[in-house]
Amino acid sequence: MYRNTWMEVNLDAVADNVRKLKEICGKKIIAVLKADAYGCGDSHVARAVLEAGADMLAVSSLDEALMLRNEGYEGELLILGATDPEDVPVMIENSISVPAYCPEWADAVVQKNPAGLKVHMKVDTGMNRIGFKTPEDLQKAFNELKEAGCLIEGIFTHFCCADFDEVFTNMQYDRFADAVELLGHEFKWIHCDNSDATVWFKDPLSNACRIGISIYGINTYTDELRHPISMHTTVTMVKEIMPGEKIGYSSTYTAKKKEIIATLPVGYADGFIRANKGRKVWCDGMECEVVGNVCMDQTMIRLEHAVPLNTPVEIFGPHIHLEDMAADLNTIPYEIICLISGRVTRTYIWHGREEQEENARLLKSTAIEV
């Protein structure tokens, strides 16, 4: 890493969180590592969650599943999103479990010699994303997939409001329980809880919980989790500006008095979006306002006192909480961390030691041949 803008992921804290959540729910843990583990690096987060006792990993697509297989993961692996029936041979060959989620999918899959394909029946209980909407469709697909030799290992649904709506969540659960009963099958995996539900929702039927954002310490119902992720940069230039001077593209900020301005090597191409203008970052004990428009690669902040070059700046972490940043930006923590781009070096703490991710594109390649 040459450019000093990085995201730190403390894998020891990740592992502690998984252990804690497993203790809280008393069920098997399916660690959801979709979207490169919410931007944190799926192969790294995988090591930590597996060491902490996760029983299965889940991702969003066949591409993401194959990436984990290519990294050497041989354990239980479930795709949560849609798949193309054309790819059935790849799913079987790599022992990847997939959701059956609509009649068209099931009808197409049975045409593809799916014997041995590991399937989880996905039931839509109110979110209206993917999943069987009617008991008839569910039963029919179950029968034909079973007949075609699929291994029907699981059944699941997804709560859409487990962070605030107990009534709706219970209604979704009741529909799910009806679906499980309808099929009368011995499922190895029965799962409905996301991170929030893992903490508060208790039921006698499910035997696994799918945890995503709580791996990173974010949960509406417990504050017993650690906060493993933070994002940092360092000061590249400090200057004094006079009253009336402007800052950045479109000169949107005007100094009211003599002010000290620092420049940071972080911008919207790092996922530090333009909406951060006017928000605060943390530097040398100060909360510093982002002044002027955030540029693609750089950002200016106003300091109360001058600092030396290379002084560290926290974008989110112990002082600027990710959840507060999300609230300021009118979004959710998931979106902020998923948008941190590949240009931002990931550093990891693992078994108490720091490791730095080598950016693959800093390694020599001959992709451009002229």
Ligand X SMILES: *Cc1c(COP(=O)(O)O)cnc(C)c1O
Report, as residue numbers or ranges, the catalytic residues: 34, 249
Q: How far is the CB of 57 from ligand X (least distance, A)?
A: 12
- Which one among 194, 206, 276, 345 touches ligand X, defined by CB under 6 A? 194
Q: How far is the CB of 210 from ligand X (least distance, A)?
A: 4
Choice between 6 and 156, CB closer to ligand X: 156
Query: Which of 357, 354, 360 minimizes the C-alpha distance to 346?
Result: 357
With CB under 6 A, what is the number of residues at the site for ligand X?
Answer: 11
210 forms part of the interface with ligand X (CB under 6 A): yes
**CB under 8 Å to 315, separation ≥6 — which residues?**
230, 231, 232, 233, 266, 272, 281, 325
Q: How far is the CB of 169 from ligand X (least distance, A)?
A: 13
213 forms part of the interface with ligand X (CB under 6 A): yes
What secondary structure letter does DSSP report for 266? -
195 forms part of the interface with ligand X (CB under 6 A): yes
Position 254, amino acid: T
Applying CB under 6 A, which part among 1-9, 146-154, 206-214, 312-320 lies near ligand X? 206-214
Secondary structure class of 307 (helix, strand, coil): coil
28 forms part of the interface with ligand X (CB under 6 A): no
User: Whats the size of the chain, residue-wise?
Assistant: 370
CA distance 162 to 25: 15
Choice between 73 and 101, CB closer to ligand X: 101
Q: How far is the CB of 194 from ligand X (least distance, A)?
A: 4
What phi and psi, each to the nearest 5 degrees, are found at residue 346? Answer: -95, 130
- Which one among 9, 80, 106, 255 touches ligand X, defined by CB under 6 A? 80
Which residues make beta-bridge pairs with 151? 118
CA distance 196 to 341: 27
Applying CB under 6 A, which part among 61-69, 110-118, 211-219, 277-285 lies near ligand X? 211-219
Which residue has the CB atom at the shortest distance from ligand X?
A: 212
- Which one among 41, 212, 228, 292 touches ligand X, defined by CB under 6 A? 212
CA distance 73 to 121: 24
Which position has the token pair 């402007």? 246
Subset of 33-52 contacting ligand X (CB under 6 A): 34
Contact 133, 122 (CB under 8 A): no
Which position has the token pair 């300021």? 328
Subset of 123-162 contacting ligand X (CB under 6 A): 158
Q: For 150, left (φ over 0), alpha (ψ -120 to 50), or beta?
A: beta
Choice between 214 and 234, CB closer to ligand X: 214
Applying CB under 6 A, which part among 210-218, 270-278, 338-346, 355-363 lies near ligand X? 210-218
98 forms part of the interface with ligand X (CB under 6 A): no
211 forms part of the interface with ligand X (CB under 6 A): yes
Secondary structure class of 166 (helix, strand, coil): helix
Would you tell me how many other CB atoms lie within 10 Å of the CB of residue 233? Answer: 24
Which position has the token pair 């054309």? 86
Q: How far is the CB of 215 from ligand X (least distance, A)?
A: 8
199 forms part of the interface with ligand X (CB under 6 A): no
Secondary structure class of 164 (helix, strand, coil): coil
Q: How far is the CB of 222 from ligand X (least distance, A)?
A: 13
Q: Residue numbers of the site for ligand X (CB under 6 A)?
A: 32, 34, 80, 158, 194-195, 210-214
